[in-house]
């Protein structure tokens, strides 16, 4: 009797071990999904720049929604909190966790470069986006052309901003490809052609609305005349406009941004903001998931693409309001 009992216990233990070996795998966030019917389910880490940044939040949400369309891809989203050290730690963790792909939206491209290179060296598919990090052998990218994004605004501003105007400039973080290229574009396409225009305030507001508000409060105290706000993104433009919304001295002020966020298009509709250029998070997300799928499944080995950047102003803003309504960003 004891012999049969021992055999039964050994058989039970072996069956338990086999069951454990075939149980569904999960990633560190607990959101991984099992392989079903022999089909590979790929784990993708999306490392966002900062969820407090309106565009970064828009893009992260769009990526999450787009991923739902793919049965073979699971995306985990991580918040870099506008911190290089936080982002770099998240990338390293994704490498250690052996994700199949890592998508990086850099806070500062050069600071994230060594960690993106580590991901490539580890054999992980690596994609940089908004802004791409150029020159990483083996990495792909999905982005927009920041020089053109600023240029479409600067070209119309040549005629819109009055002679001998006073303007303020709000910049993104130094070293960020988009921040630097947009400012360079404004310089070449506007300021070099309009030497009469005076910059009475220029600061780095790190894409941040609150920082932009703080700088604008200082500028309006020092200048009774400001004719235009030139911001390298919509979030900073909206922050500056918030400061002066009830100040009659600036009722005719012009304001330019980049991104085409829901907030920006509503401000354009109200006649508060002048124009922006679209950097569609929906288009980026669609391209990111399509690119990820092609790279993960071996259809392509290298992909580098840019999305379009049309100008949004009072003449066509309704089209983009409807775009945001369809996506649920405007109700």
Does residue 116 contact residue 107 with C-beta atoms inside 8 Å? no
Cα angle, residue 174 at apex, residues 168 and 176 outer, rounded to 5°: 110
Give the model's pLDDT for residue 6: 40
**Same domain? 188 vs 219:** yes
Count: domains in the chain:
2
The answer on 209 and 113 residing in a single domain is no
Task: Provide the pLDDT for residue 92.
Answer: 98
Domain co-membership, 81 together with 102: yes
pLDDT, residue 242, reads 98
pLDDT at 17 > cutoff 60: no
Q: What is the pLDDT of residue 48?
A: 97
Do 172 and 50 belong together in one domain?
A: no
- In 3-state terms the chain splits into helix, strand, coil percentages (rounded to 5) of 45, 20, 35
Q: Quick check: 46 pLDDT over 70? A: yes
Taking only the tens place, the pLDDT of each residue in 76-115 is 999 999 999 999 999 999 999 999 999 999 998 899 999 9
Average pLDDT, the chain: 89
Residue 174 pLDDT greater than 50, yes or no: yes
DSSP letters, 124-147, are: -EEEEESS--TT-TT-EEEEE-HH
Q: Which of 50, 68, 72 is nearest to 59 (CA)?
A: 50
Distance CA 177, CA 107 (A): 10
The residue ranking higher by pLDDT, 7 or 132, is 132
Query: Residues near 283 by Cβ (< 8 Å), separated by ≥ 6?
Result: 307, 308
Which pLDDT score is estimated for 19? 38
Render 239-303 in DSSP notation, one character per residue.
HHHHHHTT-GGGTT-EEE-SB--HHHHHHHHTTS--BEEB--HHHHHHHHHHHHHHHHTTS-S--
Q: Say whether both 66 and 165 belong to one domain.
A: no
pLDDT at position 146: 96
Q: Is residue 238 part of a domain?
A: yes
- pLDDT category at 43 given cuts 50, 70, 90 is very high
User: Domain check: are 272 and 159 in the same one?
Assistant: yes
State the pLDDT at residue 189. Answer: 98
The answer as to whether 187 is a domain residue is: yes
322 inside domain: no
Same-domain check for residues 170 and 273: yes
At 51 the pLDDT is 85
Residue 329 lies in a domain: no
Instruction: Give the predicted TM-score (pTM) of the model.
Output: 0.80
Same domain, 185 and 294: no
| Average pLDDT value for residue range 245-266 | 96
Mean pLDDT value across residues 135-157: 97
Residues 76 and 163 in one domain: no
Does the pLDDT value for residue 311 go beyond 60? yes
> Which letter does DSSP use for residue 71 in this model?
T
**Tokens 């080995």 -> residue:** 301
Least confident of 37-46, 269-278, 282-291: 37-46
pLDDT in the model for residue 39? 80
Is residue 18 in a domain? no
Q: 244 vs 177, which has greater pLDDT? A: 244
Give the residue from 273, 261, 270 showing the smallest Cα distance to 329.
261
* Predicted local confidence at residue 35, as pLDDT: 41
227 with 202: CB under 8 angstroms?
no
**Domain-located, residue 222:** yes
How far apart are alpha carbons 295 and 101 in whole angstroms? Answer: 9
Binned at pLDDT 50, 70 and 90, residue 2 comes out as very low
Average the pLDDT over 151-159 and give the result.
98
Task: Examine the pLDDT at 264 and tell me if it is beyond 50.
Answer: yes
**Looking at residue 14, what is its pLDDT?**
34
Cα 290 versus chain centre, distance: 17
Same domain as 271, residue 192: yes
Q: Same domain for 264 and 151?
A: yes
What pLDDT is recorded for position 307?
95
With 50 as the cut, is the pLDDT of residue 12 above it? no
pLDDT at position 52 over 90: no
* CATH number, domain containing residue 88: 3.40.50.2300
Range of the domain at 92: 41-142+281-307
Stretch 57-80: mean pLDDT: 96
Q: Which of 277, 297, 317 is the last residue of a domain?
A: 277
**Whether 96 and 181 share a structural domain:** no
Residue 327: its pLDDT value, please?
A: 86
Q: Is residue 70 part of a domain?
A: yes
């Amino acid at each position: 009797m004891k012999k049969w009992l021992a055999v039964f216990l050994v058989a039970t233990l072996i069956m338990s071990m086999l069951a454990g070996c075939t149980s569904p795998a999960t990633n560190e966030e607990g959101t991984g999904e099992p392989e079903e019917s022999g089909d590979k389910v790929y784990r993708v880490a999306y490392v966002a720049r900062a969820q407090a940044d309106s565009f970064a939040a828009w893009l992260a949400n769009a990526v999450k929604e787009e991923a739902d369309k793919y049965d073979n891809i699971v995306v985990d989203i991580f918040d870099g909190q506008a911190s290089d050290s936080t982002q770099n730690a998240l990338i390293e963790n994704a490498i250690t966790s052996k994700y199949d792909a890592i998508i990086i939206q850099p806070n500062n491209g050069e600071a994230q470069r060594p960690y993106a290179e580590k991901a490539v060296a580890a054999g992980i598919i690596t994609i940089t986006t908004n802004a791409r990090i150029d020159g990483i052998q083996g990495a792909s990218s999905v982005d927009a052309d920041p020089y053109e994004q600023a240029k479409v605004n600067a070209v119309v501003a040549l005629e819109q901003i009055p002679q001998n105007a006073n303007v303020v400039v709000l910049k993104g973080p130094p070293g960020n490809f988009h921040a630097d290229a947009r400012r360079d574009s404004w310089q070449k396409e506007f300021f070099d052609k309009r030497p009469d225009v005076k910059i009475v305030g220029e600061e780095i507001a790190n894409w941040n609305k609150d920082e932009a508000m703080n700088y604008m409060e200082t500028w309006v105290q020092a200048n009774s005349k400001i004719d235009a706000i030139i911001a390298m993104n919509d979030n900073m433009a909206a922050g500056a406009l918030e400061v002066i919304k009830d100040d009659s001295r600036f009722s005719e002020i012009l304001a330019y941004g980049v991104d085409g966020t829901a907030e920006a298009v509503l401000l354009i509709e109200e006649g508060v903001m002048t124009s922006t250029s679209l950097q569609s998070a929906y288009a980026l997300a669609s391209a990111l998931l399509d690119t990820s799928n092609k790279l993960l499944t071996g259809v392509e080995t290298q992909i580098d693409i840019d999305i379009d950047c049309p100008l949004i102003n009072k003449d066509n803003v309704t089209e983009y309001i409807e775009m945001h309504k369809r996506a649920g960003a405007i109700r």
